[in-house]
Structures are given as structure tokens and as C-alpha cells.
Amino acid sequence: MLALPLLRSKELPTLQYSFTGDRFDATWESPLSTLLGLGRAAGADFIEFFLERVNYVSCLAEDDAITSISPRLSTGAGVRVFRGHADCYVSTNDLSFNGLKAALEQGLSILGLQLPAPGAFIPEINLEPLRDYAALRAKENWLSQCTSMREMGDVLLAANDHLQKVANHIQSRRTSYFRDWQEVLIASSDGTFARDIRLTQTVASMLLCADGSNRTSIARRLGDTSDPNFLRGWNYTHTAEDIAESAGKMLYADFVESGTYPIIMANEFGGVIFHEACGHLLETTQIEKRTTPFADKKGEKIAHENLTAWDEGLSPNAFGTIDMDDEGMPAQRTLLIEKGILKNFIADRAGAIRTGHPRTGSGRRQDYTYAAASRMRNTYIATGDYTIDDLFASIDKGIYCKKMGGGSVGATGQFNFGVDEAYLIEHGKVTKPLKGATLIGEAKEIMNKISMCSQDLSLAPGFCGSVSGSIYTTVGQPHLKVDAITVGGR
């Protein structure tokens, strides 16, 4: 078989490519391969194209009315160019060959590179056969199987109606839902050529109750990836009853007294503290910024010997689960901390180049307008050797933090988090409800005080904002004991 003639730069304006416009498939191989070769001929060390289509809708029910339905459609692409340790990112919503070529040319110019002379040869970039997770996992029909807008409204109004039936002293009821469908295609000069479809959904209910000067706000959120019937299968009666029960207890709760206490943190969303106070400090973006106290601690003890933690993209239906990251690397499991010893960092491609830590399938981004960065997926503290009864029995006086609220974290791990639902622990027993508690601490100290973990690991959906935008993540843990922490209150 005769070899195909080499392409010269001067021939690019006459090229005619035919690729599928309404989906990403193998027909995109030739134009993307040519563009990648063009970037390499210009002197770039590495080039990556990220193509995306999004079909998003959200719905909000307030009290007895649907007050908002917000659809969004978008299509676009981003190109990232590396030269040594330096890189730049350019995005465009023009997915024609010339549109992608213009974005590439702009990225090259930012790094001081320019397109090769007309007579220059364009090297061939041999992309792998399309690695199509959408086809492999039967995702092609997900969008058509999702809940219609009318169904969304009916379910949310029914949820609010049930809140009205089971709760007292109601000021307002809100239930919201969104569905985010995304198709992505990644092609890069190392031969990566991969496609995926993602479906992320969440539903949340919030109840505000007031009686005189007593007020409380309680919310619950559920999330899912990969189930088009998620909203249809939601047990909103259970959620409403759970919220109403918590609101009834917290409405008349006493304010907590400030001090230093041992605490027990519940599973599920209790894991938000580890995510914020420690997880971010294990991302290579933090090493690059020199804002993590753990940068040179790999192989050293940074937490209590009873603490093991993971970050992974594999748990079925979890909010941070992905078949591949936004750089085309297959999902995997990363051991972060083992029995208190720091084992690995969370790394994307740029982080691996600049820090030397290996990629972990953690290059993630909000959408095509952002370059990927090292981000968490499903991040949690693993199960331990204790029962929940063991944890409570070990505390003479402390606080049970059943539901965590919002908070803030400083650049190097200082944090404060509100507790939406808390209870006093006396002589190993849960007694009266408490409100107004805020947990205050520092990551490198609190990790050494998590001394007991139970066996009831559970995960919860969340949202994480960082340098590559807002992404879907999972937090989690079993019930765990913190030996001592500052609790702000009255």
C-alpha cells in the first residue's frame, strides 16, 4: 500500500472536511488530527482540543407555584497549548475547521509561536480508535428518556404539597431540580481520542419555619449520575418527612455555648469538611500556588493513624462519578491518605508537568470555556473499625453534628462551618437539640484529631468551585469522632 502524501501548510485553506454536526463521532478524527499536527509543526509541545454540547434545564417550585423554568443549550470548544511548563487556553463557539484553527492560532501566538511557513510539512498525529464511552455504556438515549418539563413541575409541586402536610410553622417551601446533559469529545497530540455523554441530576427541598423569634431553615439534597428516571423515582414523601422532623426539633433548640468540645460528625454531607479543609490542599493546583502545607509531605504522617481517605470516579451513580476526566483519562481510584500517611496528590496534566506527581484522572472543568484543572471527584474518608455506639460511648460531654451547613475555607486550610442540626451529647447519649454551632479549625491540626471512624460510610452530592469553574463532586464519610475542636456559639 502506498503511503499517503504528506500535507503541507499551504494546502490547509483548500482542505474539505465532512464531519457530523449534531454529534461527536469518528468523523471528527481527520480535522482534529490535522489541527493537532499543525500545532506541533508550530513548535508546541502538546495540544488538546475539548469539544462540548450541553442540554440543561432547571425548575423551581416555591410554595404552590412553579416560579422558574430555565433551559440552556450550548456548543463550543477549547484548545490548550503547552510549551515547556507554560500553557494557554482559548475557547470558541465556532466548531468549523476554520473556527478551531483560529482558536489554535491564537493560543500559539500567546506562547510566542506562529503557524508554519506555507511549504512546511504538517506531521500526522495518529489518534487512537475512538474510545466511545457513550456507546460502550449505552448512553445515547439518555436525553430522550429524561423527565419532561411538565413532569418536573408536577413532581416538585407534589413535594412542596407534602411539606405543607407534614411540617408546622411554615414560612416558605422550596423544591428545585436540574438536569445537565453533556456530550464531550477530547483529542490531543499524545493520541487521545475519546467521547463521553454525562447526565447529572439533583433535586433539593428547603423548609423555612418560624414561630415568634424562633426560626430554622432545613434542606436536603439528592444527586445522581446516569439514571434518566432519577426524578421519577424520587421518594419525596420520605424527604419531606425527614426535613419536617428536623425542623420541628431545631425550631425551639437552645443555642450552643462556645468552647472546645469533642464532636461526632454524621456521615454523608459531614464529609464536606474533609473536602474543603484537606481535599483542596491535595490538588496539584495548590502545590503550584504554594498554598498547601502538605506539598512536601508525601510519605509522611499528616492525619490520625485511624484515618484513610480516597478520591475516585467509580462509585455507581455518585455525583462525582465519571467514565473519563475532561482530558480523556479513564476514571480510577486514588488513595490519598492511608492510616494517616499521605500517599498521593490529585493531579491533572498541567499539575503532572509542573509538580511531577502522576495524573490521577482528575482533570475537570465546568465547561468548554475553562481549561481543565486538578479537581476532586468522589472524595471521602473510608470506613473504620468502630461502631457508632463506640463513638458516642467515648464522649462524656460533646456535640453531635448531624447536618452540616455552609462555611468558608482559607487558602491554606483554615475553616469555619455552620452546623444546621446539632445535639448535645451527655454521658454517651444524645440529649437536647442545639443551634448556632460553628466549627472552627485548621486542616493540618484537625486531621490528626479524627481518631475514630465507624462502619457506615455514606456519600452526598455537592458542588465545588475552583479555578476551572463549578463542578459536581461527592463528599462522604462514616460517622467519625473529632477529639477536640473549637465550636463557636453564644
Q: Residue 18: its pLDDT value, please?
A: 82
pLDDT at 3 over 70: no
117/468: higher pLDDT: 468
Burial 280-317, CB ≥16 within 10 A → b, else e = bbbbbbbbbeeebebbebeeeebbbebbbbbbbbbbee
User: In angstroms, rounded to a whole number, what is the distance separating the alpha carbons of residues 168 and 271?
Assistant: 30
Nearest to 127 by CA among 250, 217, 36: 36
User: In angstroms, rounded to a whole number, what is the distance separating the alpha carbons of residues 327 and 179?
Assistant: 23
Nearest to 87 by CA among 102, 114, 108: 108
Q: Residue 205: its pLDDT value, please?
A: 98
Confidence tier at 235 by pLDDT (50, 70, 90): very high
Percent of the chain's residues with pLDDT above 70: 99
Nearest to 266 by CA among 23, 28, 458, 408: 458
CATH of the domain spanning 7-54+70-136, picked from 3.40.50, 3.30.530, 3.30.160, 3.30.70:
3.30.160
Q: Report DSSP letters for 132-171, one per residue.
A: EHHHHTT-TTHHHHSPPHHHHHHHHHHHHHHHHHH-SSEE
Would 7-54+70-136 and 142-183+197-253 be classified into the same CATH topology?
yes
- As a whole number, the mean pLDDT across the chain is 95
Nearest to 178 by CA among 455, 381, 400, 472: 472
Which residues, listed in sequence order, are joined to residue 412 by a DSSP beta bridge? none
Confidence tier at 4 by pLDDT (50, 70, 90): low
Strand-pair category, 397-409 with 193-211: unpaired
237/14: higher pLDDT: 237
User: How big is the chain, counted in residues?
Assistant: 490
pLDDT tens for each residue of 374-433: 999 999 999 999 999 999 999 999 999 999 988 888 878 899 999 999 999 999 999 999
Q: Residue 6: its pLDDT value, please?
A: 76
pLDDT tens for each residue of 348-381: 999 999 999 999 999 999 999 999 999 999 999 9
Q: Residue 76: its pLDDT value, please?
A: 98
Q: Residue 2: its pLDDT value, please?
A: 42
Describe the crossing of helices 149-166 and 236-250 by its angle, rounded to 10 degrees: 40
Is the pTM value of this prediction over 0.85?
Answer: yes
**Is 142-183+197-253 CATH 3.30.160?**
yes
What average pLDDT does the segment 224-241 reach? Answer: 97
What average pLDDT does the segment 37-63 reach? Answer: 97
pLDDT tens for each residue of 293-348: 999 999 999 999 999 999 999 999 999 999 999 999 999 999 999 999 999 999 99
Q: Residue 5: its pLDDT value, please?
A: 63
pLDDT at 108 over 90: yes
What average pLDDT does the segment 219-230 reach? Answer: 97
Decide if 395 contacts 262 (C-beta within 8 A). yes
What average pLDDT does the segment 14-25 reach? Answer: 87
The domain ranges of the chain are 7-54+70-136, 142-183+197-253, 259-488
Angle (CA) 179-184-190 rounded to 5° is 150
Q: Residue 248: its pLDDT value, please?
A: 96
What average pLDDT does the segment 452-469 reach? Answer: 96
Count CB neighbours of 107 within 10 A. Answer: 25
Burial 197-229, CB ≥16 within 10 A → b, else e = bbbbbbbbbbbbbeeeeeebebbbbbbbbbbbe
pLDDT at 1 over 50: no
> Side chain identity at 148, as an amino acid letter?
S
What average pLDDT does the segment 167-178 reach? Answer: 98
